[in-house]
Amino acid sequence: MTRHGELGTALHRWRDRIAPAEAGLPADESGRAAGLRLPELAQLTGLSVDYLGRLEEGRATSPSVQVLTSLARALRLSDDERRHLFLLAGQSPPAVGRVPDLVPPSVRRLLGRLPVTPVGVHDASWNLIAWNPLWAALVGDPAEIAPRARNAAWHHFTGQPSRISYTPEQEARFEAALVADLRAATVHYPTDVRLRFLIGELRRVSQRFGGLWNSRIAGSHDSGVRTFHHPDVGPLTLDCDTFTVPGCDLRVVAHSAVPGTEAAKTLKLLDVLGAEGTAMTGGSSPAAEPAPAADR
C-alpha cells in the first residue's frame, strides 16, 4: 500500500470511531452505521465531500497543513495520532511549545535493568534529567552540581570540570552534534523560553559555541569511544552510544565495555565502589526519580 493509501485508510478508521453526538452533531437515525459520514466530516472541517472522498481514496495526495489541522481537530486525534497523520501526508509534524522533560516508565525501567551500564537520560536541549547509579559513579554525581551544569552543552562549552577527555576529532564531532541538536530543538519547540535563554547565554559566554551556531554546522551523535579519568579506578575507555526515544524526544546515552575485557572488569569494580559509597552516605538512586530539570 502506498503512503497515500495508508493516509486514506487511517482517515477512514478515525472517522469510523467517532459518533456524531461526540462531535456535536445530531444522531437521529436508529440503526445507522457507527462513525461519521463524509458529509458530517465535511461539515466539521469546512472541506468539500468530494475532496474528503479523494483523500480517503488516495487520489488527493498533498493536503496542506491547514487541511491536516482541521482533520485532526474534527477527528479528535491524540498528539501521537496527529503526528502520524502529518507524517502520512508527507508534512512535518507541528511543533509543540516546550521541550518535554518527562521520563516514560519504560525508560525508567531501562535505567534499573542495566546496573552494569552507565546510562543517562537527556531532554531535547541536553539537560540531564535522569541517570542510574553507575552513571553517577563514572562521571560524578550530578546531584552534587548546579542544575545548569547538568546541561551537556553548557557543561562542555563553558569549560566545566569533566572526567572525559577527547581527541580533537572526537571533540569536533561532539560539538557539531550538540549544536545541531539545539538548533533542531528551536525548530521543534519554538516557544520554549528556557531553551532560547540557554542558547542566548551560550552565545554570550562561549565564542566557540557562537562560531559553531553562526556556521549552521550539521552533525549527529554517532557511536564512538570516550576516555574517562576516574579518581579511584584510573583511565577507562568505553564505547558510547546515543539513542533517541520515539515520541518524547529524549536522548539516552549509554557507556559500555566488551564483556571479559579489562574495561568491563573496571566497570564492575566501579559499580561496587559506587554501591559502597551510596550505602555509606545513605543516598538514594536517581534511577527511581528524575533529576530536576536544568535551570536554563
pLDDT tens readout for residues 179-221 = 999 999 998 888 899 999 999 999 999 999 999 999 988 888 8
- Same domain assignment for residues 223 and 265: yes
Q: Is residue 290 part of a domain?
A: no
The size of the chain, in residues, is 296
- Same domain assignment for residues 202 and 56: no
Q: Is residue 32 part of a domain?
A: yes
Q: What is the 3-state secondary structure (H, E, C) of the chain?
A: CCHHHHHHHHHHHHHHCCCHHHHCCCCCCCCCCCCCCHHHHHHHHCCCHHHHHHHHCCCCCCCCHHHHHHHHHHCCCCHHHHHHHHHHCCCCCCCCCCCCCCCCHHHHHHHHHCCCCCEEEECCCCEEEEECHHHHHHHCCHHHCCHHHHEHHHHHHCCCCCCEECCHHHHHHHHHHHHHHHHHHHHHCCCCHHHHHHHHHHHHHCHHHHHHHHHCCCCCCCCEEEEEEECCCEEEEEEEEEEEECCCCEEEEEEECCCCCHHHHHHHHHHHHHHHHHHHHCCCCCCCCCCCCCCC
- Same domain assignment for residues 45 and 142: no
Q: Is residue 95 part of a domain?
A: no
List the domain range (segments joined by +) for residue 176: 105-281
- Same domain assignment for residues 75 and 172: no
* Number of domains, the chain: 2
- Same domain assignment for residues 46 and 189: no
Out of 62, 88, 114, a domain closes at: 88
List Cβ neighbours of 246 (8 Å cut-off, separation of 6 or more): none
pLDDT above 90: percentage of residues in the chain: 51
- Same domain assignment for residues 126 and 254: yes
Q: Is residue 7 part of a domain?
A: yes
Average pLDDT over residues 46-55: 92
CATH of the domain at 266: 3.30.450.180
Q: Is residue 54 part of a domain?
A: yes
Q: Is residue 133 part of a domain?
A: yes
- pLDDT for res 54: 92
CATH of the domain at 8: 1.10.260.40
Q: Is residue 94 part of a domain?
A: no
Answering whether pTM is above 0.75, one says no
Choose from 30-34, 79-83, 164-168 the range with maximum mean pLDDT.
Answer: 164-168
- Same domain assignment for residues 21 and 148: no
Q: Is residue 97 part of a domain?
A: no
Give Cα 58 distance to the centre of its chain.
32
- Same domain assignment for residues 112 and 249: yes
Out of 43, 62, 88, a domain closes at: 88
Q: Is 259's pLDDT higher than 50?
A: yes
- Same domain assignment for residues 206 and 138: yes
- Same domain assignment for residues 135 and 196: yes
- Same domain assignment for residues 116 and 80: no
Residue of 5 and 131 predicted with greater confidence: 131
